[in-house]
């Protein structure tokens, strides 16, 4: 195989990758001392340019969604990617870096025979990630993936961000894994609803009468959007958003000029407000908070996002509550407790989710329906949980966090421990939200803080804000600072002082 000269070793930095092209092949070079590694240049999750990411602690972190890969071999360290990086042949001769244009073939050891049966209940972010991880880590036993939806799991985060705006049709939301993957990996996809999970007998019973005994199970059923127990809540066009089908129903009602009322200023609610305004709807938001997102981002950032919405025509009704939805068969109005009547041909409820755990014995659950787990995601002998349903130890406190990537992190940890490992959650939660073309990233988790330290200006939507507890960074919020946020995603795995964080941010402009 011929190798092509692409760079000089002396020109390669060690804190980030360098992108080169050999014909139509795009390759990322990573330098460690005198050694150079060559990998695919775009993230396998969503195609982000990995040269815009950051290298820290032997990991390469994606600039968009914070997937992480080992510099040494390209293997997957952190989701949302479900695959490691393709590797390319590379050598350094007299200071010149030479790379081949054909990816190296992947090699794997033949797994030993295994008579065990593992089941995963739920095929969304966590369930799919766990199935992939179990095969990646060498599990050769029977693997069942049970889900209420017939089609493979897909990226639900796209629904409120890009489907409602019309940028991505519902049917084109990408699957997390396609049918070919499940066939090649011998993962049995079973359509059905688990109505009882007996953790003592290790048996899952389905609504249609089938049951499956198991050696180990992962519960990854996620959250169910809450309906309001109010008059008129079951009228046509009073809708929720969780699935492709929900998105399709919203789009059928979403014509330019349609009057839409969104109940709740949650992330889903305001992402939907942004998307529907871009489709030309008249959008009103019934907001519970004086400043939306202040409890997550701080008041200054929350106010900037609120102003962005108002500048784009979103109408807020703050502090009001819904008394009822009016209509005959279809909704035509929303009555507020201040007496105001809002006309509405479409109502979207964005008031939170409840853990889908009704199949479990109440003795295992917290009052809110969440399932407590240890730092290894274990809930009971032979039973693990991941994602929205799991209350896990974080920063010394039992915590439930409803983040897409966190669910996948949970799942990979659970998968390794189902195989006898002893892996604990020591990672950094991450999510991102999207409003009128502005993407805001969030790292960590802080329910309280002493001060917000800003680098840049939130009002200009180019900043990083550090939520400080004492001398330490509890969380970081950023916009248009993807390389620095990628670096923080790795560095915050250990305690990070505010002063050091500011030095890293200033040394890593995009």
How does pLDDT run across 52-80, given as a tens digit for each residue? 999 999 999 999 999 999 999 999 999 99
Query: 150-153: long-range contacts at Cβ-Cβ below 8 A with a sequence spacing of 24 or more?
Result: 150/191, 151/175, 152/123, 152/128, 152/176, 152/177, 152/178, 152/179, 152/182, 152/189, 153/123, 153/124, 153/125, 153/127, 153/128, 153/177
Q: How big is the chain by its Cα radius of gyration, in Å?
A: 24
Does 4-99 match 117-224+354-418 in CATH topology? Answer: no
Confidence at residue 398, expressed as pLDDT on a 0 to 100 scale: 96
Average pLDDT over residues 321-329: 97
Domain 4-99 has CATH 2.102.10.10: yes
Tokens of 504: 């890293």
Residue count of the chain, please give it.
510
- Per-residue pLDDT at 493: 96
How far is 124 from 150, CA to CA, in rounded Å? 12
CA–CA dist 165, 112 (Å, integer): 48
Cβ neighbourhood burial of 47 (10 Å; 0-12, 13-18, 19+):
exposed
User: What's the mean pLDDT in 371-400?
Assistant: 97
Given this model, what pLDDT does residue 109 score?
67
Mean pLDDT calculated for residue range 197-204:
98
The pLDDT-based confidence of 112 (bands split at 50, 70, 90) is confident
Q: What would the mean pLDDT of 122-137 be, rounded to a whole number?
A: 97
Show me where the domains of the chain are located.
Answer: 4-99, 117-224+354-418, 238-351, 446-506
pLDDT at 212 exceeding the cut of 80: yes
What's the average model confidence in pLDDT over 278-287? Answer: 97
> What class, spelled out in words, does domain 117-224+354-418 have in CATH?
alpha beta
Fold for domain 238-351? FAD/NAD(P)-binding domain (3.50.50)
Q: Residues 496-507: what's their mean pLDDT?
A: 97
What pLDDT was estimated at residue 128?
Answer: 98
pLDDT higher than 70, residue 8:
yes
């Amino acid at each position: 195989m011929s190798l092509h000269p692409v760079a000089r070793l002396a020109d390669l930095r060690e804190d980030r990758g360098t992108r080169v092209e050999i014909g139509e092949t795009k390759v990322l070079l990573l330098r460690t001392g005198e050694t150079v590694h060559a990998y695919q240049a775009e993230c396998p999750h969503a195609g982000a340019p990995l040269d815009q990411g950051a290298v820290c602690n032997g990991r390469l972190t994606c600039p968009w969604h914070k997937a992480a890969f080992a510099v040494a071999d390209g293997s997957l360290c952190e989701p949302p990617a479900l695959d490691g990086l393709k590797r390319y042949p590379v050598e350094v001769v007299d200071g010149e870096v030479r790379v081949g244009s054909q990816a190296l073939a992947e090699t794997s050891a033949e797994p030993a025979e295994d008579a065990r049966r593992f089941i995963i209940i739920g095929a969304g972010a966590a369930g799919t990630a766990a199935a992939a991880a179990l095969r990646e880590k060498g599990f050769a036993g029977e693997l069942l993936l049970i889900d209420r939806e017939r089609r493979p799991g897909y990226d639900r985060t796209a629904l409120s961000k890009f489907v409602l705006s019309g940028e991505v049709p519902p049917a084109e939301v990408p699957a997390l894994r396609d049918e070919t993957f499940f066939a090649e990996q011998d993962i049995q996809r079973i359509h059905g609803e688990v109505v009882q999970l007996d953790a003592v007998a290790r048996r899952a019973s389905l609504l249609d009468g089938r049951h499956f005994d198991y050696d180990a199970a992962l519960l990854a059923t996620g959250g169910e959007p809450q309906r309001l127990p109010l008059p008129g809540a079951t009228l046509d066009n009073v809708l929720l958003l969780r699935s492709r089908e929900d998105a399709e129903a919203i789009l059928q009602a979403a014509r330019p000029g349609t009057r839409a009322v969104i109940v709740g200023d949650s992330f889903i609610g305001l992402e939907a407000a942004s998307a529907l305004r871009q489709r030309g709807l008249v959008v009103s938001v019934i907001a519970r908070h004086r400043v939306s997102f202040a409890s997550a981002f701080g008041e200054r950032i929350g106010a900037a996002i609120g102003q962005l919405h108002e500048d784009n025509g979103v109408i807020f009704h703050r502090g009001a509550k819904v008394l009822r939805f009016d209509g005959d068969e279809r909704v035509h109005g929303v009555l507020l407790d201040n007496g105001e009547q809002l006309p509405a041909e479409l109502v979207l409820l964005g008031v939170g989710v409840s853990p889908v755990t009704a199949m479990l014995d109440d003795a295992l659950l917290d009052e809110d329906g969440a399932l407590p787990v240890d730092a290894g995601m274990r809930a009971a002998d032979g039973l693990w949980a991941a994602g929205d349903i799991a209350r896990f130890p974080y920063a010394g406190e039992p915590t439930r966090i409803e983040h897409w990537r966190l669910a996948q992190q949970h799942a990979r940890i659970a998968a390794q421990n189902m195989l006898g490992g002893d892996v604990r959650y020591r990672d950094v939660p991450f999510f991102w939200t999207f409003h009128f073309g502005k993407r805001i990233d969030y790292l960590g988790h802080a329910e309280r803080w002493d001060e917000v330290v800003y680098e840049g200006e939130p009002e200009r939507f180019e900043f990083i804000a550090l939520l400080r507890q004492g001398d330490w960074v509890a969380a970081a919020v950023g916009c248009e600072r993807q390389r620095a946020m990628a670096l923080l995603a790795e560095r915050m795995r250990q305690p990070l002082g505010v002063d050091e964080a500011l030095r890293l941010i200033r040394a890593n402009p995009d």
